[in-house]
Structure 1
Amino acid sequence: MFQSLLTNFALILLILTVVTGVIWTLDLFVLSKKRREAAEKALAEYDQREAKLAADGVRMDTNKREEIASSLLRQPVWIEYSGSFFPVILLVFVLRSFLFEPFKIPSGSMLPTLFVGDLILVNKFTYGIRLPVINKKVIEIGQPQRGDVMVFKYPMDPQVDYIKRVVGVPGDKVEYKNKRLTINGKLASYEPLQDFLGDNNLEYSRQFRENLLGVQHHILNNDDSPVWVEKPMKFPGRENCVYDNEGFTCTVPQGQYFMMGDNRDRSADSRYWGFVPDENIVGKAFFIWMNLGNIRRIGSFQ
Structure 2
Amino acid sequence: MALEKEISTSPASTPVKKKSAFREWLDSIVFAVVAATLIRWLFMEAFTIPTPSMENSLLVGDFLFVSKLHYGTRTPKTPLQVPLTHQTIWGTDVPSYLDWIQLPQYRLPGFSDVQRGDVVVFNYPPELQHPVDLKTNYIKRCIGTPGDVVEVRDLQVFVNGTAMENPSRMENEYFVSTTTAVNEEKVFKENGISEYSTYTETYGDTIPSNDESGYLVYTTASIVETLKTYDFVRDVRVVKAPKDISEPSLYPSSSLIKWNRDNYGPITVPKEGATIQLTPENTAFYGDVIKYYEGNEKVEIADGKVSVDGKAISSYTFKQDYYFMMGDNRHNSADSRYWGFVPMDHIVGKAVFVWMSIDPNPTSVAGKIRWNRLFRVIE
Q: Residues of 2 paired with 1:138 and 1:256: CA distance?
A: 15
Tell me the residue number matched to 1:136. 105
Distance in 2 separating the partners of 1:191 and 1:150: 14
Structure 1: distance between partners of 2:47 and 2:251: 29
Candidates 107, 113, 117, aligned match of 1:147: 117
Query: Rg larger in 1 or in 2?
Result: 1
Q: Distance in 1 between matches of 2:105 and 2:250?
A: 27
**Root-mean-square deviation (CA), in Å?**
3.4
Match of 2:140 among 135, 159, 164: 164
User: Residue deviations 1:240-274, cap 9 Å, x none?
Assistant: x9543633221000110000000101000000000
Aligned ranges 1:256-267 → 2 under 5 Å: 256-267=322-333
Aligned counterpart for 2:45 among listed residues 85, 88, 101: 101
Whole-Å separation in 2 of the counterparts to 1:86 and 1:274: 41
| Residues 46, 65 of structure 2: 8 Å contact kept | yes
Instruction: State yes or no: 1:223 paired with 2:238.
Output: yes
CA 1:233–1:242 in 2, change beyond 3 Å: closer, same or farther?
Answer: closer
Deviation by residue 1:106-164 (Cα, 9 ceiling, x = unmatched): 11110110001000110011001222454933322221000000000000125211000
- In structure 2, the CA distance between the partners of 1:86 and 1:280, relative to structure 1 (3 Å rule), is same
1:83 to 27, 32, 44: 27
In the aligned structure 1, how far is the partner of 2:349 from the partner of 2:34? 21
Q: Hey, what's the Cα distance between the residues in 2 that align with 1:290 and 1:113?
A: 14
Q: Choose from 162, 171, 182 the match for 1:186.
A: 162
In 2: Cα distance, 1:292 partner to 1:75 partner: 42
Over 3 Å counting, the alpha-carbon distance change for 1:205 and 1:162 in structure 2 is: same
1:274, 1:88 → 2: CA distance?
39
One-letter amino acid of the structure 2 residue matched with residue 201 of structure 1:
Y
Asked whether the equivalents of residues 232 and 271 of structure 1 are also in contact (C-alpha less than 8 Å), the reply is no
CA contact (8 A) 1:192 1:208 kept: no
Aligned letter for 1:282?
V
Do the aligned residues in 2 keep the contact of 1:173 with 1:251 (CA within 8 Å)?
yes
Checking the alignment, whether the CA contact within 8 Å between 1:104 and 1:117 is kept in structure 2 is yes
User: Structure 1 vs Structure 2: percent identity of aligned residues?
Assistant: 33
Matched, 1:244 2:321: no
Equivalent pair of 2:264/2:337 in contact (CA under 8 Å): no
Q: Is 2:352 the partner of 1:286? A: yes
Change (3 A) 1:189 1:140: closer
State the SS of the aligned residue for 2:220. strand
Letter in 2 for 1:153: N
Pairwise CA distance, 1:283: 0.3
- What does 1:2-151 align with in structure 2 at a 5 Å threshold? 40=14, 73-75=17-19, 79-132=23-76, 134=78, 136-141=105-110, 142-151=112-121
1:198 matched to 2:193? The reply is yes
Q: Aligned partners of 1:132 and 1:166: how far apart in 2?
A: 24
Q: Which residue of 1 aligns with 2:249?
A: 232
Partner of 2:238, secondary structure, is coil
Gaps of 5+ in 1: 1-36, 41-68, 210-220
Q: Secondary structure at the match of 1:266?
A: coil
Secondary structure, aligned partner of 2:30: helix
Q: TM-score if structure 2 supplies the norm length?
A: 0.51
Alpha-carbon spacing, 1:190–1:121, altered in 2? closer, same or farther (3 Å) = closer
Higher helix fraction: Structure 1 or Structure 2?
1
Distance in 1 (alpha carbons) for counterparts of 2:221 and 2:59: 17
Which string of whole-angstrom CA distances, capped at 9 and with x for unpartnered residues, describes residues 72-121 of structure 1?
x2446775444222332222112111111011101111011000100011
Q: Does structure 2 conserve the Cα–Cα contact (< 8 Å) formed by 1:259 and 1:270?
A: yes
Contact 2:352 2:378 in 1 (8 A): yes
Q: How does 1:200-215 map to 2 (within 5 A)?
A: 200-201=195-196, 204-205=217-218, 207-208=220-221
Distance between the aligned counterparts of 2:23 and 2:257, measured in 1? 61
CA deviations over 1:172-210 (Å, ceiling 9, x no partner) = 00001211111011123569999975224375446359x
Aligned residues: 221
TM-score by length of 1: 0.63
**Range with bigger deviation, 83-92 or 147-156:** 83-92
Rate the CA distance shift 1:147–1:243 in 2: closer, same or farther, 3 A: farther
